[in-house]
Amino acid sequence: MDSSQTAGRAGRYAPSPTGDLHIGNLRTALLAWLFARSTSRRFLMRMEDLDDRVQPESADRQLTDLESLGLDWDGEVIYQSDRRDRYNAVVEELASAGYTFECYCSRREIHAAASAPHAAPGAYPGTCRDLTASQREEKLRSGRSPAVRLRSRVAEYTVDDALHGQFTGVVDDFVLRRGDGTPAYNLAVVVDDSASGIDQVVRGDDLLTSAPRQSYLASLLGLPIPHYAHVPLVLGPHRKRLAKRDGAITMSELHMSPHALVGLLGRSLNLTDRDRATPADLLESFSLERLQRHPWVFHPRKR
């Protein structure tokens, strides 16, 4: 277990600094803050900056937008890029326990195998799971750097979610460390949540299927499994996930005051009927029972 693990209860918001936050990101951040503060938890901020698409300057802009919205957080911002040694140590810990194997498959090969008849939808097909020593040597001679995958001993895992109830999802041999040495999301998030004492994870419901994998990994590492709340997404006018041409408008592009924007987000969540509000205003009326459970279709010109 991570020696830096802290006591106490906390929620968090953990954006990836690959650009400015759009209205869907801001709504999820607001919800994460409301869930944490309404349950007397600390609220932490973490930058998931391991992605090769990261734009270093966007982290500061994201933090500025969140502060402008009226959100606050406890302690210093955590940057995953500062914690690579810890992630690698956990991978070695799992390897020593026989829970990993090297995978030499390309994305194209994985997609082709996973699309074959009888393959579990979205699951790694196990191509490299049981390679012989000579087969591994042959793969290495090809010059391809292997990823490290978890050798899962279950096919599925069940988690409890505040909005979705019990959810059972696929647990395959997912990647722990990519071929280029980058720690994978499913590993880093589990390690970081435990290290920070985070016991409440509020995020978009597009990540619900990740929860069984992450919870299973936490159980293998002897770490506590957090309380989950996967919240509805914001959709664009064509009822698709937000994209630049379909509603993915940033705070600066909205041309709204922070109080007007919080009011808009609060109304979309069924937490207020006011045009202007602050996060503290929404906190007074926040409850899980009142929360809107369906995606919010955002029309930029119909506010």
Find out whether 106 is annotated in a ligand binding site: no
Find out whether 3 is annotated in a ligand binding site: no
Find out whether 61 is annotated in a ligand binding site: no
d(CA 4, CA 83): 11
d(CA 194, CA 173): 22
What does DSSP say about strands 10-13 and 156-161: parallel, antiparallel, or unpaired?
unpaired
Find out whether 119 is annotated in a ligand binding site: no
Find out whether 14 is annotated in a ligand binding site: yes
Find out whether 103 is annotated in a ligand binding site: yes
Find out whether 185 is annotated in a ligand binding site: yes
Contact 285, 222 (CB under 8 A): no
Find out whether 15 is annotated in a ligand binding site: yes
Find out whether 12 is annotated in a ligand binding site: yes
Find out whether 124 is annotated in a ligand binding site: yes
Look up residue 297 and give its DSSP letter. E
DSSP, residue by residue, 186-212: HHHHHHHHHHTTB-EEEEEGGGTTHHH
Nearest partner of 244 among 15, 18, 16, 22, judged by Cα? 22
What is the residue type of 98? Answer: G
DSSP-based three-state secondary structure for 175: strand
What does DSSP say about strands 234-235 and 296-297: parallel, antiparallel, or unpaired?
parallel
Find out whether 284 is annotated in a ligand binding site: no
d(CA 91, CA 129): 16
What does DSSP say about strands 147-150 and 175-177: parallel, antiparallel, or unpaired?
antiparallel
What is the residue type of 168? Answer: T
What is the residue type of 59? Answer: A
Annotated binding site for L-glutamate: 12-16, 48, 185, 203
Annotated binding site: 12-16, 48, 103, 105, 124, 128, 185, 203, 244
Annotated binding site for ATP: 244
Annotated binding site for Zn(2+): 103, 105, 124, 128
